[in-house]
Amino acid sequence: MTKKVVIIGSGIGGLGAAGLFARKGYDVTVLEKNENYGGRANVFEHDGYRFDMGPSWYLAPDLFDHFFALMGEKIDDHLDLIKLEPSYRIFFKDDPEDVDIHSDIDRDSNTFEAIEPGAGENLKAYLRQSEYQYQIATEHFMYKNYDTVFDFFNKRVMTEGQKLSVFSKMHA
């Protein structure tokens, strides 16, 4: 008899879990309260404008590659990604000057600096810290199973976890 599983929510996590269960032979049902699947990975369109409802950038291609590999697939066989330039454009209601964000840290730093003195260096510091935290998270946490809360209480996890600054303020 085939085992059955119900997934509540069709966001990235729900769809990912559904795919992994289906790959193991489960009969999977996905329940979603919204009209469309995707959760936060959805869009809203109005008057010719398109708004991301969640993930705006493809920030962690290695995570997507890993997930697709778990499914026995290659991401390139399913997605045709096109790098945008600019990566992001910010519109202001009462200001005709748009702000473009690019994939060039120095260029973006100069943009931030022009808006607010000191913001360019703050952006670079933030990105350096984020890169460090991402490295620790992927090396020590993302691909590990923690079956109970007690699995977190070991020297390696406690030491590396402190380096993530998860309890510090996100603003100055």
Contacts of 122 (CB under 8 A, 6+ apart): 112, 172
Would you kindly state where each structural domain of the chain is located, as residue ranges?
A: 83-172
Contact 104, 88 (CB under 8 A): no
Q: Which pLDDT tens digit goes with each residue over 100-159?
A: 999 999 999 999 999 999 999 999 999 998 898 888 888 877 888 888 888 777 777 777
The pLDDT assigned to 171 comes to 65
Structure-block tokens of residue 33: 């309260």
Q: Which pLDDT tens digit goes with each residue over 16-72?
A: 999 999 999 999 999 999 988 888 888 888 999 888 777 666 778 888 899 999 999
The pLDDT assigned to 121 comes to 97
Whole-model pTM: value is 0.71
Contact 9, 40 (CB under 8 A): no
